Amino acid sequence: MDVRGSFDTNRILLIPALAVFIAASAAFIGCSGEAGQPVGPEAQAQADIALQFPEGYTYDPGTGAIYPPSGQYNASAPSYVTSMTLVISGDDMETLSFPVDLNTLAVTFSITPGIRTFTIIVTTSIGLTFTDSVTLEVVSGGPIYLEFNLNINAPPSGVSASATPDLAKPGDVISLSCQASDLDPGDVLTYTWSGPNGWTATGQNATYEIPNYGTFTFTCTVSDGWGGHGSASVTVRAPMPNMAPVVKSVSIVEALSNLPPSWGYLTPWDTANIYCSAQDPDGDPLTYTLSDQFGVLANGPKALNVAVPNLGGCPPKPMFEDWVVTCTVNDGKGGTASGVGKMPVGWCF
């Protein structure tokens, strides 16, 4: 004997974020037309289904109306629901699967009496699947009570957090802002901020005073009130002020020996090696330029085998004239420094 039923899922479960309740009573009508007496090859079962709503809301199963009217509580499928399936299984029967028409939100099925498990499966376009099951004994002439508890809810999406400015200094007050959306109409989103040293704030917007130099990360968590949440983070930097590099020395030596000339000067027919030593307090990489009064000698911390310029001469010119080499360094952050090295050059003896 088959028991036939019709479950109007418009009344079963598609209330976003609400637990739903099915109370189905079966009355079996046989050929004799007498209720409760199954006669003939099959019997009919009619399900009366009701919903549970939060306090203050009522549902009329006769008209399908919800009081007071609200866009948040409605008996229609959320837009992100892609399919619904009612699965009925039991030890002595083949598992049956019934697709639910999303246009009518109704499904009609036929099963034999016995211990039966009813499972509702709801799939969505947001990567979530909702399901619940109830097991009961279906008997001829007896009532059927089903209760599904489904929390069909899309969590907040598109969560983003921003900070203005995101580059600050101690004492600056930054403005934090959080944006999010929700596919469930009527969901009221709440925003909670967390940050350094246990700092918290509530609301879509917040402010924070930078206490010191460092890096600060703020996280915005968005909740929809139905268990769905999303989060996003933003980082604000308050770097230490840049410290300029320092040129420690500029040395000019005779190229052949790589030592200062023992006689204390160079001549125009000599070659020289030039070295610049510098450091940066912040550890920033440095770029070097070596130059003299005639132009650039090298782009780097050293210049090798440089021809000594023709300086000095015989009286009335000075016998020796200083060859001045300048080393300029740059840390790439606006910090520069320079230093000079000198070497007498002459040729009239």
Classify domain 246-346 at the CATH superfamily level: Immunoglobulins (2.60.40.10)
* Rounded alpha-carbon distances, angstroms, from residue 36 to 52, 113, 124, 136: 28, 14, 40, 19
pLDDT tens-digit map of 232-285:
999 999 999 999 999 999 999 999 999 999 999 999 999 999 999 999 999 999
Say if domain 157-238 classifies as CATH 2.60.40.10: yes
**Contact indicator for 63, 74 with CB cutoff of 8 Å:** no
CA 109/CA 5 separation, integer angstroms = 5
Of all helices (H) and strands (E), which one includes residue 121? strand 114-124
Local confidence pLDDT in tens for the 349 residues of the chain: 334 343 433 333 333 333 333 333 332 222 222 323 333 333 333 333 333 444 555 555 455 455 554 434 444 567 788 888 889 999 888 998 988 877 766 667 777 788 989 898 989 898 889 888 888 888 776 555 666 667 788 899 999 999 999 999 999 999 999 999 998 888 899 999 999 999 999 999 999 999 999 999 999 999 998 889 999 999 999 999 999 999 999 999 999 999 999 999 999 999 999 999 999 999 999 999 999 999 999 999 999 999 999 987 777 777 899 999 999 999 999 999 999 999 999 887 6
In the chain, which segments carry CATH 2.60.40.10?
Answer: 157-238, 246-346
pLDDT tens-digit map of 205-227:
999 999 999 999 999 999 998 88
H-type helices in 75-156, by residue range?
none
What pTM value is reported for the model?
0.58
- 309: nearest Cα among 268, 270, 249, 248: 268
